[in-house]
């Protein structure tokens, strides 16, 4: 681990020299990139340097503890005990700081929710989930922009895609991706039988142009008349846009805006996010489809979380977390489960760091 820390410190010193270079300072993109990298390394380097200072002080205290003056020996032994405690604390803090950061944590997200198995009840549940996330974003002070919706009845949703913008959105929502299962008595069920339905959730980090380069020649852009509510322009102007990314076959449609230009811009955001997700999965050698990695096929057996209404219970099956605050969660109080998921996966990452040679 300390060989890695030495490498990090050397890179930190290199970056310090770069941001002080006049040629770098005159290039806003370079300066921003290097400054960001520097700020990410600084907490680790500061702790590592504190650690080395403590080691030097421990050596000095040991020398004094071996001296002939009994009063000085006693003081040195007390100081030594304090320093060794400080050393252990610093080791723990350094390990925590060395847990790899997700480069997407600061990004906005594209949230996609689709009804899974269960007919109309699945659509109603998809609507419940969307309201849950909308209320959560309101609590966080984030902004929600609904990009497209497909409804199947009062309160039922076939599909909804929304952009969520704010501070560290992806870091707090990334563990929501997967199949969500609901167990409850549908309002249409006369006999009072409990039904099981599912909805799929995908949380895609927003990809910027610097993340994903899309060639214009790879796109097929079709325009068509919008359908559904929207005023006089509906079915009279070709404002709706369908973009096909020909190399991958990904298709994105957007028609919520009356302006073709705005619809195209929104569709490009969704397309870029999906392509970015595909690229991340390719790098991890997982699978070829971002949808499959996040939500599977929507079958009940692939569930990540169950919402049981009769017991007012929510269980996250990945970490064995259960809470009897279902009503509060559906009203947007996701802090408890979000913190539990973050703590669990951070602990798993910390195990990997601790597997490296101990100092």
> pLDDT digit string (tens) for 92-143?
888 888 877 788 888 999 999 999 998 889 999 999 999 999 999 999 999 9
Could you tell me how many helices (H) and strands (E) the chain has, helices first? Answer: 10, 11
**What is the H or E stretch that residue 205 is in?**
strand 195-205
Measured over the CA atoms of residue 147, residue 150, residue 156 and residue 160, the dihedral's sign is negative
- Give the per-residue pLDDT at 297: 46
Average predicted confidence (pLDDT) for the chain: 85
- pTM assigned to the model: 0.67
Residues 32, 319: Cα–Cα separation, whole Å: 38
Residues 194, 189: Cα–Cα separation, whole Å: 8
Q: Are 157 and 151 in contact (CB under 8 A)?
A: yes
Q: How many residues does the chain have?
A: 359
Q: Which CATH class is domain 216-283?
A: alpha beta
Q: Which residue has the higher pLDDT, 58 or 346?
A: 58
Q: Which fold has domain 109-210+293-350?
A: Alpha-Beta Plaits (3.30.70)
Measured over the CA atoms of residue 267, residue 247, residue 113 and residue 140, the dihedral's sign is negative
The pair of structure tokens assigned to 281 is 């999965």
Residues 296, 36: Cα–Cα separation, whole Å: 36
Q: Which residue has the higher pLDDT, 266 or 180?
A: 180
Place of tokens 């006999």: 191
- Give the per-residue pLDDT at 288: 34
Q: Are 107 and 205 in contact (CB under 8 A)?
A: yes
Q: Is the pLDDT of residue 59 over 60?
A: yes
Band (pLDDT 50/70/90 cuts) for residue 345 is confident
Average pLDDT over residues 17-25: 90
Q: Is the pLDDT of residue 229 over 60?
A: no
Q: Is the pLDDT of residue 169 over 90?
A: yes
| CA torsion, ordered 157, 160, 164, 168, to nearest 10 deg | 80
Q: Is the pLDDT of residue 294 over 80?
A: no
């Amino acid at each position: 681990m300390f060989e890695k820390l030495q490498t990090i410190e050397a890179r930190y010193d290199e970056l310090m020299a770069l941001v002080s270079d006049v040629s770098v300072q005159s290039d806003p993109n370079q300066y921003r990139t290097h400054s960001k990298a520097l700020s990410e390394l600084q907490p680790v380097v500061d702790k590592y340097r504190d650690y080395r200072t403590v080691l030097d002080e421990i050596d000095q205290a040991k020398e004094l503890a071996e001296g002939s003056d009994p009063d000085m020996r006693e003081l040195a032994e007390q100081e030594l005990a304090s320093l060794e405690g400080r050393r252990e604390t610093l080791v723990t803090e350094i390990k925590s700081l060395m847990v790899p950061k997700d480069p997407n944590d600061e990004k906005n997200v594209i949230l996609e929710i689709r009804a899974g198995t269960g007919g109309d009840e699945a659509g109603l549940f998809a609507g419940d989930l969307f309201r849950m996330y909308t209320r959560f974003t309101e609590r966080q002070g984030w902004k929600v922009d609904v990009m497209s919706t497909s409804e199947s009845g009062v309160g039922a949703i076939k599909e909804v895609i929304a952009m969520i913008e704010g501070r560290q959105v992806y870091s707090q929502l990334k563990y929501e991706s997967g199949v969500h299962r609901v167990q409850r008595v549908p309002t249409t069920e006369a006999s009072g039988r409990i039904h099981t339905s599912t909805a799929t959730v995908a949380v895609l980090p927003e990809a910027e142009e610097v993340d994903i380069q899309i060639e214009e020649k790879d796109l097929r852009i079709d325009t068509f008349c919008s359908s559904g509510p929207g005023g006089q322009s509906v079915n009279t102007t070709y404002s709706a846009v369908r973009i096909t990314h020909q190399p991958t076959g990904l298709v994105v449609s957007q028609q919520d805006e009356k302006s073709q230009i705005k619809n195209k811009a929104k569709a490009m955001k969704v397309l870029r996010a999906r392509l970015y997700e595909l690229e991340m999965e390719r790098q991890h050698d997982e699978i070829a489809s971002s949808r499959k990695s996040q939500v599977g096929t929507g079958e009940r057996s692939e569930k990540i979380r169950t919402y049981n209404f009769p017991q007012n219970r929510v269980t996250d099956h990945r970490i064995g977390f259960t809470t009897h605050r279902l009503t509060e969660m559906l009203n947007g109080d996701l802090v408890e489960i979000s913190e539990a998921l973050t703590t669990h996966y951070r602990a798993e990452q910390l195990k990997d760091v601790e597997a490296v040679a101990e100092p």
